[in-house]
Amino acid sequence: MSIQISCPHCGKRPIEEFTYGEIPRVPDHITDPDARNVDRVFMYTNPAGVQTERWFHLYGCRRWLTVRRDTRDNQMSE
Length of the chain in terms of residues written = 78
Q: Say what the pLDDT of residue 52 is.
A: 85
Q: Give yes or no for residue 1 having a pLDDT over 60.
A: no
Other C-beta atoms lying within 10 Å of the C-beta of residue 32: 8
Q: Say what the pLDDT of residue 18 is.
A: 94
- Assign domain 4-77 to its CATH architecture: 2-Layer Sandwich (3.30)
Q: Say what the pLDDT of residue 24 is.
A: 64
Paired residues of 6 in beta bridges: 12
Domain extent listing, the chain: 4-77
- Give the model confidence (pLDDT) of 25-73 as tens digits: 667 777 787 877 777 677 666 789 988 888 999 999 999 998 888 989 9
Question: What is the per-residue DSSP string for the chain?
Answer: ---EEEETTTEEEEGGG-EE---PPPPTT---HHHHHHHHHH-----SSEEEEEEE-TTTT--EEEEEEETTTTEEE-
